[in-house]
């Protein structure tokens, strides 16, 4: 099942993003009161989105990769919850392959990451995968057995499983 998601959900852009130079992004951890960007307060809070914007080549992807791989990020996220915390990422890239430019590529990639990190969720979508796998064959042009509707339904199945287990 994971292989069927990787066919269209790989994200080679991630590997192409250079690692940051030591201390390049230390400023991201400064609190607003210390002149920082408020990232720590956002991680600790309940707000939805944190926007990182800039010109092409300004280092947005490098900053995001740093944030994702930094131990401080997970420490802050885990300190705010009693449940397990998982970090997933996807890097859109307009110059990349089709899967890196589309919402479908994002869905393939995130579902794959979710199932790898939380294997107990696999049963929630296994039946859907088996049904799709019976009826559709993958062609050589990297198409997927998963269409956007099926991917979105798979996420709904997972949410339903999680809601049912909490009841």
Write out 32-76 in H/E/C secondary structure: HHHCCCCHHHHHHCCCCCCCCCCCCCCCHHHHHHHHHHCHHHHHH
Q: Token pair of 40, please?
A: 């720590």
User: Would the pLDDT of 68 be above 60?
Assistant: yes
pTM across the whole model:
0.77
Average pLDDT, the chain: 84
pLDDT tens figures, 97-155 = 888 888 999 999 999 999 999 999 999 999 999 999 887 655 444 468 899 999 999 99
Question: What percent of the chain clears pLDDT 70, i.e. is strictly above it?
Answer: 87
């Amino acid at each position: 099942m994971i292989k069927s998601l990787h066919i269209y959900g790989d994200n080679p852009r991630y590997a192409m993003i250079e690692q940051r130079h030591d201390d390049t992004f230390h400023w991201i951890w400064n609190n607003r009161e210390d002149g920082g960007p408020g990232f720590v307060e956002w991680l600790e809070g309940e707000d939805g989105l944190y926007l990182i914007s800039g010109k092409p080549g300004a280092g947005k992807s490098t900053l995001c990769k740093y944030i994702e791989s930094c131990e401080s990020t997970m420490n802050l996220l885990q300190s705010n919850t009693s449940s397990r915390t998982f970090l997933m990422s996807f890097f859109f890239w307009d110059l990349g392959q089709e899967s890196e430019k589309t919402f479908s590529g994002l869905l393939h990639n995130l579902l794959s990451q979710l199932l790898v990190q939380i294997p107990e969720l696999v049963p929630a979508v296994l039946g859907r995968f088996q049904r799709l796998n019976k009826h559709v064959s993958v062609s050589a042009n990297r198409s997927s057995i998963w269409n956007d509707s099926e991917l979105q339904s798979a996420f709904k199945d997972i949410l339903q499983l999680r809601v049912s287990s909490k009841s």
